[in-house]
Amino acid sequence: MFLFPEQDASIVAQSSAQSLAYVGDAIYELYARLHCFIPLRRSREYHSAVVDYVRAESQANALDRLTLASQLTDPEREVVRWGRNGCRPTVRRADPDIYQKASGLECLIGYLYLTDRLRLQYIMQEIFTAPTDP
């Protein structure tokens, strides 16, 4: 799953928040698809289950759970803040605050994928094993 080698955090920090969120969105969806793979089901049911996880509202809730449980380090909270401020809402159906939280989470996921995959694995486990999963 890790085709791209980990990078130095100082180099990744030069990326835009939107670029990190773009990578984070893809990684988050991959984890959601893998999480929903078992039990086996029809592709339409897979799609529906995955959409429940990747919706902006679900991502915002996941970030809230991580924050409330104090699961994020200070540098990670800074990346989330950077992502929230650097990604402006473009979709009309989502509340801007929800969209910004989701963008902050995606930015964090992209950042961790590029810099610290062990920490990424921990965060994703926290997200996808929470008792409040959709």
Report the catalytic residues: 25
Q: Please choose, from the candidates 65, 70, 98, the residue with its C-alpha nearest in 3D space to the C-alpha of residue 84.
A: 98
- AA letter at 88: R
Cα separation, 124 vs 1, whole angstroms: 14
Q: What is the CA radius of gyration of the chain?
A: 14
Which residues lie below 8 Å from residue 11, measured CB to CB, with a gap of 6+? none
